[in-house]
Chains A and B, each alone.
Chain A
Amino acid sequence: MFIDVDCSQIKKFGQNAFGDYFVSKRSDKQERLIAVLSDGLGSGIKANILSCMTSTMLLRFIEEDIPIQKAAQTIMDSLPVCQIRKISYATFSAIDCRSDGNVWVVEEGNPTFLLIRNGEEIALEAKEYTSPKFPDRHLQLYQFKAEVGDRIIFCSDGVTQAGIGTKEYPLGLKREGFLQCVKKCVRDNPEISSTELSTQVIQKALSAEPLEHAGDDISCAVLYFRKPRKALIFTGPPYNKMKDREYCLSFECFAGKKAICGGTTANLVSRELRREIVNLSAVTSGNLPPVAAMEGVDLVTEGILTLTRAAEYLEKEELSHQDAAGQLVDFMLSSDIIEFMVGAMLNQAHYDPSLPIEIEVRRTIIKKIKKLLENKYFKQVVIHYM
Chain B
Amino acid sequence: MEKIKVKICQGTTCFVMGGEVIKSIHDTLVEKYADKIEIVPVRCLEVCHDADSFSQAPYVYVNDEVVSAATVDKVISVIESKLKNE
Contacts and interface: CB of A to CB of B under 8 A. Distances in A.
Interface of A: 262-264, 266-267, 277, 280-282, 284, 287, 289-290, 292, 300, 302-305, 347-350, 352, 354-357, 359
Contacts of B20: 284, 287, 289
Contacts of A300: 43
24 contacts: A263-B11, A263-B46, A264-B11, A277-B42, A280-B42, A282-B23, A282-B39, A284-B23, A287-B20, A289-B11, A289-B12, A289-B15, A292-B43, A300-B43, A303-B12, A305-B16, A347-B12, A347-B49, A349-B49, A352-B51, A355-B16, A355-B17, A356-B16, A357-B16
B2 to A, nearest CB: 20
A349 B43 contact: no
Contact of A350 (B13, B42, B46, B56): B13
B17 to A, nearest CB: 7
A348 B57 CA distance: 12
Given A266-B44, A280-B43, A290-B41, A356 B10 contact: no
A280 B44 CA distance: 11
Interface of B: 9-13, 15-17, 20, 23, 26, 39-44, 46, 48-49, 51, 56-57
A347 B43 CA distance: 15
A223 B86 CA distance: 69
A284 B49 CA distance: 24
B16 A267 contact: no
Contacts of A347: 12-13, 48-49
A359 B11 CA distance: 13
A302 B15 contact: yes
B40 A302 contact: no
Given A263-B44, A348-B51, 10 more contacts: A266-B43, A267-B43, A267-B44, A284-B20, A302-B11, A303-B12, A347-B48, A347-B49, A356-B16, A357-B16
A302 B9 CA distance: 11
Contacts of A277: 42-43
Contacts of B13: 347, 349-350, 352, 355, 359
Contacts of A356: 16-17
Given A264-B46, A282-B26, A347-B48, A290 B16 contact: no
B34 to A, nearest CB: 15
B10 A263 contact: yes
A266 B44 CA distance: 8
Contacts of B43: 263, 266-267, 277, 280, 292, 300, 302
B51 A304 contact: no
Given A280-B41, A289-B20, A267 B46 contact: yes
A354 to B, nearest CB: 7
B23 A304 contact: no
Contacts of B56: 352, 354
A282 B57 contact: no
